Structure 1
Amino acid sequence: MTLADLIVTHARVLTMDPDRPRAEAVAVAHGRILAVGSVAEIAALAGPDTKVIDAAGRTLLPGFFEGHVHVGLGGADLTHLHIGHLHGAKAVGDAFRDFATANPDMPLLMAQEAHYDILDKPATRQDLDAMIADRPIAMMSPDLHTVWANTAALEAAGLLRGAEMPHGHEVVMGDDGLATGELREFEAFGPLIAFAGEGRINLGIATGEEPDPRPSAAERAADKALLRRGMMHCAAHGVTSLVNMDGNRYTLELLAEMRDEGDLPLRVKVPFHFKPHMALAALDRASAMAADFDDDWISSGFVKMFMDGVIDSKTAYMLHDYPDQPGHRSEPLFPPAHFDRIATEIDRRGLQIAVHAIGDGAVRTVIDGYQAARTANGPRDSRHRIEHIELIDPADVSRLGALGITASLQPPHAPGAMDFPLQPTLSRIGEARWPDAYRCRSLAKAGAAMAFSSDWPVADVSVLRGIAAALTRQPYAGAQDERLSLIDTLHAYTAGGAWAAHRDHVTGTIRARLAADLVLLGGDIGTTPPAQIPDLGVTLTICGGRIIHDHDVSAQ
């Protein structure tokens, strides 16, 4: 009989396994779940060297599956200034000056979580110059789609006099022929990120290309440190697997080096990022990544795309005019007929597709493309995904379930649910469309598979805060209640995320022979009022049978 290396007992185990949804104890051996059962059943598997953890009635869940995160960018974000709690030029300027004093050698002083009305007006380089003029400083919006930079930063990045950008990316220019300071979308502020020394880790989302020239050993070590910092931050919140939604072969190579060095804490899936400038032949790179990286720890097998931007900057593609800008709907980054061809070719190769689509026009374009691929290639277990779906036309709600499309949603993104303010987002959507915004329950009821995540560092990676946001969110005027139940919410953060990423054969549920990926909470989530769920905290995170986060656990 195989004895357990580790036992967690006297727990309220929520397995997410429909065949045995609840249990009292779990045994782990050789990195996998040995058995799930009662306290007595699992105690029989203990040997003299077995580590036994008494959960004392706390909830044990499958390790959280972070289905949409930017872990390298998050690792860098942890070193930046955070100003989401501030408002007004004086408060922001004081924070920048304090940060500058504490970081005299930092080439770029970057502030994160600068909401669009943080200065009560559209921010300009002159506004930031008034805070600090002699060092490059910049502010990143919470959605990571807009940066505002001062004159010194624009000069350092070669953007002050403008720069030619791909469709959908813009260095906003003023009447004086100089940049205003607003940089829209990734390639526009990419030179600024490169100046800060974070360009290599940003390539996967900015251009989809590989570093050139090939990074030195020291540069690779620096990038691995960012990835590890980001992963350990996720692990502290109970995450054991993640989908890094920006990526390239370089990212996979770094992760493989970390695995071989015994320094990879989490399971990671990385896409090939297909950008509008690429020809279909670029998908050969996606196929090669899928073939070369496919084990229980590191995998690829899917293609990420952006169909539009975000609502607050009015770059989300809408079916109707923005209420405060008649005649403006933005545009899709991929024309519909062209996207149909791309989706069909990706699907033909047996790869999964994940597309960022926020406006209802973008969402419809993606659904149409997936339908075109299915018509051309026939149905298969593709699990194609749409990321975010912040606005959807009622006519499209039932199409996701009918076509087997996964709704990859972020409960913290809904304005007012967690950290994002109600404005300007709700005004940009318009009150008449609030019933169609941030739909969750209605998509699930219509048959869409659900996967929840944070999109960190866009939102706090804390899964417990995300669960609370999902359970406490209030309906907008005229809209129905879009909350799921506690168990359905937990499923979307665990088994649902694993299924959406084609990793359900590895993790996502607590059942024998699957990976021993577990999270022990600080109490019983089932009896905790939803608003108090974040206070439970994460006591223990286990990935592949290894304890990677331990917050005051007693072993006997």
Structure 2
Amino acid sequence: MRVDVVYTGARVLTGPDFRPADAVAVHAGRVVALGADAAELDARSRIDLGGAVVVPGFHDAHNHMAWYGMQLTALDLSERTCRSVDDVYAAVAKAAAEQPPGSWIIGSGYDQNKLAGGHPTAEGLDRVAGEHFVQLKHTSGHMCVVNSAVLRQLDLANVPTGGDVVRDAEGRPTGLLREQAQRLLDPLRYPVPLEDVTRGIALASERYLAEGITSVQEAGIGRGLVGNTPIELAAYQQAREAGQLGVRTTLMVAAQSLRELDHAPSDDVVFGLDLGIRTGFGDDWLRIGPMKLFSDGSLIGRTCAMHEPFEGEPDNRGYFQMPEEDIAETIRKAHRSGWQIATHAIGDRAVSVVLDAYAAALAEFPRRDHRHRIEHCGVIGDADVARLAELGVIPVPQGRFVSELGDGMRAALGPSREDHCYRVRSFLAAGCVVPGSSDRPVVDGAPLPGIVDMVRRRTSSGVLLGADERVSAAEALRAYTFGSAFASFTEADRGTIEVGKLADFAVLSHDPTDPETLDEVRVLATVVGGDMVFERSGDAGT
């Protein structure tokens, strides 16, 4: 047999337990042989990887691809450029000087927990850009600040349920719109043109391949809090047709994009997309994944639904983004109709409510392998960890949150609860399959730093957050490969390097399962379907 390519001179970590082999053979986009069996095959091409380590391609189970790509061209307000609210105002002033009056200034990535002076305000923005329309997006995506020129365009008398417009002591809007109140901007900013969304997807793809990512799950398209346009799937199709969708993509569809369907009395497909399209429709490159539902808000923004008040705010337990009964009914209908469901729940009260809804739906309409998910599953008690595993629900935490957002999470929870956030070790110990994910662009989405944070759990100030929740480097790698594939029903084709599976892998400088060299690991090349689609200059392949 003559195969397409044999990669040699490598330490290939194969199978579910990362057994080493020294070669991998690929034909028609799939692995056909490993080790000595691969090395002996005749091949059209042979590539010596020079002693590099080969692992399954990284798979981000929760990211916002189009949002991230479009943010790359927005005003960067992250801590890389802004340490105080005055830095934010200076960045906006500079942009205003370079743009004509009446144009939009869009900034992204600020975190009030890391800014001296807290949130920007409409009053402050008016001073530096009063003749422009300004929107500054919080790093969490759960709130934004606008200036007075924008506020005057909004229907502030009709704030959507599940959000609020923050006001000062005199009752005047500060410019801060939280959660569903951001939908007030829809008449001005939604839908985003397909051209812009497609460009964002292309830019994100390039970055992802350079980080060893070969598969992603996009955490919300269409309508709702994170949707860009009701026809957003078309942008992904356009990117694919133009050769700009470089990574295999599973799309979570916003619950607001689903509707009641006409059906025969005997049918269970009662809720979804037209034609009965649901989870699993598509192919190896682009497919429909879960329905995405928001139950609550943000931990660092102190809007997620908690059993007990946030530290220092005795009257604030957060809130739900829709009535609890609507959460349960939406889950019931989607589950009955065959959808996998991915529900955003960060606060411990939201997690409890979502688990109640999943349990009720499964009791009424039993389904053996539903793989419903809780996105983030940020704060959770021991009893609900056990219930999560018993119900077969997949928690989707983000390791990178600990380093980048951990100090803000500690401040929101206080010392008595801080060890109960993002509990990866507890999930594994309970028997859950845990995927690896970033929630990019909320934090840096590169998988290698995410793996480090799952192992180390140090906040940006150096505090060890939840020492008992640390995992091994091998467990973190398994989360970012097999765990994410399992969470998307694709583990038969990806997630491990085995004969018959897709030939998607990352070529690394060091072994990421070795904690001693974890900080030194870098991506040398990325292979998708057997083709080397990214190579760091001078580092991989001869």
The partner residue of 2:531 within 546, 551, 556 is 546
Tell me whether 1:459 sits opposite 2:450 in the alignment: no
Residues 334-392 of structure 1, C-alpha deviations (whole Å, 9 max, x = no match): 44444333323222222101011000000111111111122112241111111111111
How far has the Cα of 1:189 moved from its partner?
Answer: 2.9
Tell me whether 1:284 sits opposite 2:265 in the alignment: no
Aligned equivalents of 1:143 and 1:149: distance in 2? 16
Aligned equivalents of 1:333 and 1:89: distance in 2? 28
Aligned equivalents of 2:354 and 2:89: distance in 1? 41
Which residue pairs with 2:181 in the alignment? 188
Tell me whether 1:251 sits opposite 2:232 in the alignment: yes
Q: Is the 8 A contact 1:507 1:517 kept in 2?
A: yes
How far has the Cα of 1:555 moved from its partner?
Answer: 3.9
Q: Which moved more, 1:143-152 or 1:325-334?
A: 325-334
**Paired residue secondary structure (1:231):** helix
The partner residue of 1:373 within 361, 372, 378 is 361
Aligned equivalents of 1:393 and 1:292: distance in 2? 32
**Paired residue secondary structure (1:390):** coil
The amino acid that maps onto 2:436 is: F
How far has the Cα of 1:445 moved from its partner?
Answer: 0.5
How far has the Cα of 1:145 moved from its partner?
Answer: 0.7
Q: Is the 8 A contact 2:111 2:138 kept in 1?
A: yes
Tell me whether 1:28 sits opposite 2:26 in the alignment: yes
Q: Which moved more, 1:307-316 or 1:494-503?
A: 307-316
How far has the Cα of 1:232 moved from its partner?
Answer: 1.9
The partner residue of 1:349 within 337, 352, 375 is 337
Percent identity (aligned)? 30
Residues 265-288 of structure 1, C-alpha deviations (whole Å, 9 max, x = no match): 111111221149976888231773
Could you say if the C-alpha distance between residues 555 and 60 of structure 1 is closer, same or farther in structure 2, counting changes exceeding 3 Å?
closer
The amino acid that maps onto 1:128 is: L
Q: Which moved more, 1:244-253 or 1:451-460?
A: 244-253
Q: Equivalent residues in 2 for 1:270-419 (5 A)?
A: 270-275=251-256, 283-285=271-273, 288-290=276-278, 293-414=281-402, 417=403, 419=404
Q: Is the 8 A contact 1:272 1:285 kept in 2?
A: no
Which residue pairs with 1:89 in the alignment? 85
Q: Is the 8 A contact 1:276 1:334 kept in 2?
A: no
The amino acid that maps onto 1:11 is: A
Q: Equivalent residues in 2 for 1:224-235 (5 A)?
A: 224-235=198-209
Aligned equivalents of 2:64 and 2:99: distance in 1? 24
Could you say if the C-alpha distance between residues 291 and 453 of structure 1 is closer, same or farther in structure 2, counting changes exceeding 3 Å?
closer
**Paired residue secondary structure (1:351):** coil
How far has the Cα of 1:191 moved from its partner?
Answer: 5.5
Unaligned runs of 5+ in 1: 202-218
Could you say if the C-alpha distance between residues 54 and 200 of structure 1 is closer, same or farther in structure 2, counting changes exceeding 3 Å?
farther
The partner residue of 1:446 within 427, 430, 439 is 430
What is the TM-score normalised by the length of structure 2?
0.88
Which residue pairs with 2:266 in the alignment? none
Which residue pairs with 1:512 in the alignment? 499
Q: Is the 8 A contact 2:525 2:534 kept in 1?
A: yes
Residues 300-355 of structure 1, C-alpha deviations (whole Å, 9 max, x = no match): 14211011001233210011122322243233334444433332322222210101
Aligned equivalents of 1:142 and 1:87: distance in 2? 14
Which residue pairs with 2:194 in the alignment? 220
Aligned equivalents of 1:430 and 1:524: distance in 2? 37
Which residue pairs with 1:537 in the alignment? 522
Could you say if the C-alpha distance between residues 120 and 276 of structure 1 is closer, same or farther in structure 2, counting changes exceeding 3 Å?
farther
Unaligned runs of 5+ in 2: 223-229, 263-269
The amino acid that maps onto 2:191 is: R
Q: Is the 8 A contact 1:336 1:369 kept in 2?
A: no
**Paired residue secondary structure (1:294):** coil
Q: Equivalent residues in 2 for 1:29-44 (5 A)?
A: 29-38=27-36, 41-44=37-40
Tell me whether 1:241 sits opposite 2:215 in the alignment: yes
Tell me whether 1:162 sits opposite 2:162 in the alignment: no
Which residue pairs with 1:215 in the alignment? none
